[in-house]
Amino acid sequence: MLTQDPNLAYQPNADRYTRMAYPRCGASGVRLPALSLGLWQNFGGADSLTNARAMVQCAFDLGITQFDLANNYGPPYGSAETTFGEILRRDLAPFRDELIITSKAGYDMWPGPYGIGGSRKYLVASCDQSLKRTGLEYFDIFYSHCMDPDTPLEETMQALDYIVRSGRALYVGISNYDAEQTQNAIAILKSLGTPLLVHQPRYNMLDRWIEDGLTEVLRQERVGAVVFSPLAQGLLTNKYLDGVPAGSRASRPEQIYFSEQDISAPMLTKVKALNEIAVARGQTLAQMALAWVLNNEAVTSALIGASRPEQIEDSVSALNNREFSEQELARIDTILK
């Protein structure tokens, strides 16, 4: 954690690998931390670099080795990669080989027909731009961020294969693909000789869509899963138990993916009931929500977001109690249904 003058050289916690679990990602030789840090929010150009550094240092001190980016994370687009590049240069460069650094492309990034989608033109150009912003020589994992219905899947997968063969990334992943699309992507990549390492879908107690076929595909094909939004953008925390507090993400009009409309009375009733189970388990609601996601055997790692280091510490404490009784799981299912 950032406990020293920020201008001094960062020295990570010598015991950083003692609190974290590192499950194997699918059939590969890669072990990912059970919790990874996502830089979707709070690492943009408008955010505090000092706070961003503190969060990244805290994460690494706690054994989090995977840092997840995308080309358009910010705001503005690209600025999260620039921020992380600065943190890497100042603090983490000596530890590059201890890190899994990922990025993605697929959603809109720059104007015109070549700044969005799944074409080889866009993916390769975007990967090059992302490498430049971060100052990296390669990404550990590069993802197709979303399925592009207007581009043949073969072209998108061939672009990922090329990105690996050209040295831009070590492994490839896909994100937000459904079960059938994932099965087809796996087959194409396998035929090209660059197997799919990981899928990154949204998954949490309130959004269980991956259980309708995708998790079975991932298990059968031995592909890992790094799930995002395990806390439903903060809804599965204590923050909203009494409504929408001022200054929270849901109260900010610029947040296009989460607003007060997402926090209905029936939803709050479910969240409060889940919180009662968490309290009985000796956990915060957020800790139980993370433990529940990791209880799915198809899940390799859960991506956590944070606005301050203390939230990362709280999340890692979820690993102290990951087991659920059959009665707890049944009660949770009853609440969610």
Total length of the chain: 337
242 inside domain: no
What separation in angstroms does the CA of 113 have from each of 13, 110, 118, 135, 174?
46, 9, 11, 26, 21
* Rounded Cα gap, residues 240 and 75, in angstroms: 25
Nearest to residue 77, comparing CAs of 49, 51, 116? 116
* Cα torsion angle, 98, 317, 79, 258, sign: positive
User: Exposure string (b/e) for 239-251, b if CB count within 10 Å is 16 or more?
Assistant: bbeeeeeeebbbe
**pTM reported for the whole predicted model:** 0.92
> Which residue from 278, 323, 304, 308 is spatially nearest to 33, judged by alpha carbons?
304
Question: Do 69 and 99 contact (CB within 8 A), yes or no?
Answer: no
CA distances from 177 to 26, 169, 184, 229, 252 (A): 17, 20, 10, 16, 29
What are the 10-residue block averages of pLDDT along the chain, 337 residues in total?
56 97 98 98 97 98 99 98 98 98 98 98 98 98 98 98 99 98 98 98 98 98 98 92 64 51 84 97 98 98 97 97 98 96
Query: Which of 253-283 are b and which e, b meaning 16 or more Cβ less than 10 Å from the residue's Cβ?
Result: eeeeebeeebbeeeeeebbeebbebbeebeb
Q: Is 19 a domain residue?
A: no
Whether 222 and 197 have beta carbons less than 8 Å apart is answered as: no
What pLDDT does 79 receive? 98
**Strand-strand pairing, 301-304 and 100-105:** unpaired
Query: Using CA atoms, how far apart are residues 272 and 126, in angstroms rounded to an integer?
Result: 42
In a domain, residue 45? The reply is yes
The number of distinct structural domains making up the chain is 1
- Structural domain including 98 reads 35-233+289-321
What CATH code is carried by the domain that includes residue 154?
A: 3.20.20.100
> In the prediction, which pLDDT does 278 show?
98
Structural domain contains residue 7: no
In a domain, 251, yes or no: no
Residue 241: what pLDDT? 86
pLDDT at 245: 62
Tally of CB atoms within 10 A around 51: 16
Contact, 34 vs 22, CB < 8 A? yes
306 in a structural domain: yes
Flag whether 170 is in a domain. yes
If one counts every other C-beta atom within 10 angstroms of the C-beta of residue 202, the result is 17
> How far is 16 from 160, CA to CA, in rounded Å?
33
Domain assignment of residue 193, yes or no:
yes
